[in-house]
Amino acid sequence: MAVILCYGDSNTHGTTPLEKLGAFARHAPGDRWPDVMSKALGPAHQVISEGLPGRTTVHDDIVEGGMRNGLTVLPAILQSHAPIDLMVLMLGTNDLKHRFSVTAFEISRSLERMVLATRAEGVVKDILLVSPVPVREAGVLKDVFAGAGDRQHGLTAFIAAAAARQGVGFFDAGSVVTVSPDDGVHWDAAAHHAMGAAMAQAVAARL
């Protein structure tokens, strides 16, 4: 059985578009993209969803707290699910928050560092690096992501280049999904189903 680890943030977790700050909800099982992908891939594949709302690539979040630094907890998560045939890595959205003030290039370099850290653990055979869906400065999260529209310029191309340098797979989530206008970050159920179907094809090809 092929083991696939989906390592990401709230859009891997399945967080629904927010109607007001602090009011979090989650799409039902089966409506989250890792679940959709798992069903499409079939019983010969075990899909593990490791999505944490607010997770960054390499940054500690002193506002939200809660071990949001994806690099810090990565070794423990990899070892707890080892051996892993493929890790699907989709992070970078939360790095666009105003409080971090990093560039698109720096986000791509942070993801590249995560690829190297993953390899160092020696329990993952292959990696599929996913460029996150572009955010919009809209709705209840517009102030949290103030300036993100400009900071994310070129992000997809930078991540594609990082994937090429490291010899890992690449997929552009923005090619199949757009964010909800309600908060400019999260996806509706239809988007999760579209992402799951597209990722099933990308994962099957990579395996």
3-state secondary structure string, 144-191? CCCCHHHHCCCHHHHHHHHHHHHCCEEEEHHHCCCCCCCCCCCCCHHH
Q: What is the mean pLDDT of the chain?
A: 97
H helix count then E strand count, the chain: 7, 5
Helix/strand/coil for 47: strand
pLDDT (mean) for 81-98: 98
Closest CA to 135 of 120, 150, 117: 150
> Which sign does the torsion angle of CA 178, 181, 186, 192 carry?
negative
CA distance 12 to 197: 14
Residues above pLDDT 90, as percent of the chain:
96
pLDDT at 173: 98
Beta bridge partners, 45, equal 2
Where does the pLDDT of residue 24 fall: very low under 50, low under 70, confident under 90, or very high at 90 and above? confident
pLDDT reported for residue 23: 80
Q: Alpha-carbon distance 37 to 201, whole Å?
A: 9
Distance CA 94, CA 56 (A): 5
